[in-house]
Amino acid sequence: MNSRSKEDLLSPRMLEDKDVYLAFYLRKNWDNGALFSTLAIPNIAALIVEAPGQTAAQPRYVLRDDVCKAWAELENFLLDISEHLYSHHCDRHLFPDIDFPRWPHQCGYRVPHDSVKGTFNCL
């Protein structure tokens, strides 16, 4: 990579070994589409709301319902595809068993939490 212009540093790029430190330069925030634009800095606070049916003395917080449903739908779709491709592959018997990392829903974004911070940490 020869260019050090801000626009080039913010864009996806191939790096040479001598420039590997540039991988830590912040990438451009694309904020594409309704599903992911909510993660933009100005919008993140609006993602977390008080969970319905909670008391004022012990409020609980949850990801906004429309966003949670959209993420769950996307996650379920991707899980179904990956499970089908993995289990129905013609050479599946040759594959080792995979110990998958935690899925996003296992991090708790679908359930209420005791604090805004706890809810945010699940995103």
The pLDDT value given to residue 73: 92
| Residue 62, pLDDT score | 92
Between CA 122 and CA 104 the distance in angstroms is 8
**What are φ and ψ of residue 57, in 5° steps?**
-70, -35
Query: Which token pair is 2?
Result: 């020869």
Number of C-beta neighbours around residue 63 at 10 A: 25
d(CA 63, CA 51): 8
pLDDT band at 34; cut points 50, 70, 90: low
For the chain, the structural domain boundaries read 1-30, 34-91+99-121
What pLDDT does 77 receive?
92
Q: Note the pLDDT tens digit of each residue in 104-116.
A: 888 888 899 998 8
Higher pLDDT, 25 or 73: 73
pTM: 0.57
Measured between alpha carbons, how far is residue 37 from residues 10, 67, 109 in Å?
18, 11, 17
| pLDDT of the residue at 102 | 83
Instruction: Give which of 95, 102, 101, 47 is closest to 69, Cα–Cα.
Output: 47
Q: What is the pLDDT of residue 112?
A: 92
